[in-house]
Amino acid sequence: MADKCHLCLLGLIILSSLLTGTSGVDVTDVFISSGENVRLPCNNHLHDCTSTRWICNRFSHSVTDELIRDGIKKKDIESHERLSLGSDCSLNIKNIIKEDHGLYSCQQWTRVNGPRLRPDASVYLHVLHVSSSSSQTEISAGSSVTLSCQLYPYSYSFSGISCDDWIRSAEMQLFWVNQAGVKLTISDSRYEISAPGHCIITLTTTLLNEDDNREWRCEVTHRNQVKTSVTYTVKSSGESGSHRRLIAALLHGRETRGERIQMHAFIEGLRQRHSRGRKSQSNGEQVYKQETQEESVRQALVRSGANSV
């Protein structure tokens, strides 16, 4: 038991040194959010990339995948289309997914499978991912939504240490902030914040009408320095949101005949409500905001050449 604890402690010290840069081993930690593009540096490259190989281990006991061989991208791998090699032999990955987290190694070999020309340059790729409890792209006001933010690190699986122990030892934190950058806490009455573990944090809230296009951001920090973040933007399925999308379609000339009919019906409704509003207006009251809406829609129709259906 004592030996096991000693090994765990040693693993934590090693991992901490990797993150703080105190280790002499050529290992780089890269944090990235799902959906983004990432560049993994090759710190041992030669004058060109003809001797460069990139390999990847996504789990401690997984099969090693060869991604790049002699500077040429392998075609028989699932991520082929998302990979490219930089002029400095760095590995570029587009549209990161959570399954991309892992240990990536840049190697330099002779052309005939001889000895390696230099020690490996390794990169630990950690991916931050946000998922929603709703499968719909648009959520109506009054609905409850839960956002789960999870860090997928590689280092902990490499040493057999739990994710919670790894993130604690590395002095890292996950938390949610609003679009003003203010950290959300359990004291906020609108939100329910929970952390089932140190590598995952959830935010639950009931959406309001004014939440259309509102952003919430999940951040992962190391000693109060943001390493990466993921932003979730609410898209309302309410009436105003659909009308904005129709106006945008008109302005860009991509509206369908059905959308033109729908917009003409909408503008006619605005005119009728505006007419009723003008009749009840008195004592210098401001004209109803429908007038502004009507004008914006009318301009969109004129620009799109959709004055007649």
CATH label of the domain that carries residue 82: 2.60.40.10
Report pLDDT digits (tens) over 55-99: 998 765 667 889 988 888 888 787 888 999 999 999 999 999 999
| Same domain (yes/no): 41, 105 | yes
Beta bridge partners of 124: 29, 103
| Same domain (yes/no): 243, 226 | no
| Same domain (yes/no): 101, 61 | yes
| Same domain (yes/no): 113, 169 | no
Stretch (H or E) spanning 53: strand 52-57
Q: Is the pLDDT of residue 100 over 80?
A: yes
- The answer as to whether 92 is a domain residue is yes
Beta bridge partners of 139: 236
- The answer as to whether 11 is a domain residue is no
Given this model, what pLDDT does residue 294 score?
52
Q: Which residue has the higher pLDDT, 270 or 114?
A: 114
- The answer as to whether 79 is a domain residue is yes
Burial 256-265 (b: 16+ CB within 10 A, else e): eeebbeebbe
The tally of domains found in the chain comes to 3
φ/ψ bin of 142: left (φ > 0), alpha (ψ from -120 to 50), beta (otherwise): left
Question: If pLDDT is split at 50, 70 and 90, which confidence band does 283 have?
Answer: very low
- The answer as to whether 273 is a domain residue is yes
Give the separation between CA 86 and CA 70, rounded to whole angstroms. Answer: 13
198 is written with which tokens? 């140190």
Q: Which of 254, 240, 183 lies closest to 209 in space, CA to CA?
A: 240
Q: Is the pLDDT of residue 246 over 70?
A: no
| Same domain (yes/no): 90, 156 | no
Give the separation between CA 219 and CA 225, rounded to whole angstroms. Answer: 10
Ranges 14-18, 113-117, 218-222, 290-294, most confident: 218-222
Question: If pLDDT is split at 50, 70 and 90, which confidence band does 6 have?
Answer: very low
- The answer as to whether 163 is a domain residue is yes
| Same domain (yes/no): 210, 252 | no
φ/ψ bin of 181: left (φ > 0), alpha (ψ from -120 to 50), beta (otherwise): left
Distances (CA, A) of 113 to 72, 107, 181, 188, 305: 15, 12, 52, 60, 66
Range of the domain at 210: 133-233
Q: Which residue has the higher pLDDT, 230 or 9?
A: 230
| Same domain (yes/no): 29, 117 | yes
**What is the percentage of the chain residues whose pLDDT exceeds 70?**
62
Ranges 150-154, 221-225, 227-231, most confident: 227-231
State pTM to two decimals.
Answer: 0.67
What are phi and psi for residue 139, nearest 5 degrees? -125, 135
